[in-house]
């Protein structure tokens, strides 16, 4: 779960990018029968904040979408191996809420 964990260094809040259901499934594959509710409880005890899903529109996902995240993970690991400090920057683009046409 190491590279699926994120957080805010200022507030100390941390979270995982995986859902409790996905974590539960992975634990079952490792022969640990843990329900998603138990995973949620354990994450809370470990001071993780559960993230809430927001606006999702049904549709197909791009088969190459994961490549950017794999590349970022690869660069992070390379930096860690080289003894470099690793920082994470999350920037947001302002968007209108709702089903509006993107002008770009």
Q: What is the per-residue pLDDT across 11-68, written as a single tens digit (0 to 9) for each?
A: 878 888 888 999 999 999 999 999 999 999 998 888 888 766 556 666 677 777 788 8
Does pLDDT of 1 surpass 70? no
Integer angstrom CA distances of residue 77 from 7, 14, 15, 23, 33: 18, 20, 20, 22, 31
Q: Give the C-alpha separation, 90 to 92, whole Å.
A: 7
3 state DSSP class of 76: helix
14 bridge partner residues: 7, 48
pLDDT of 102: 63
Does pLDDT of 99 surpass 80? no
What pTM value is reported for the model? 0.47
């Amino acid at each position: 779960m190491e590279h699926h964990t994120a957080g805010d260094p200022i507030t100390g809040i941390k979270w995982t990018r995986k859902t409790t259901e996905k974590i539960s499934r992975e634990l079952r594959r490792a022969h640990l029968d843990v329900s998603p509710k138990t995973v949620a409880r354990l994450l809370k005890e470990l001071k993780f904040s559960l993230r809430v899903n927001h606006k999702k529109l049904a549709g197909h996902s791009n088969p190459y979408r994961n490549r950017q995240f794999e590349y970022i993970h690869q660069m992070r690991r390379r930096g860690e191996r080289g003894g470099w400090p690793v920082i994470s920057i999350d920037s947001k683009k302002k968007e209108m809420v709702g089903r509006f046409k993107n002008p770009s």
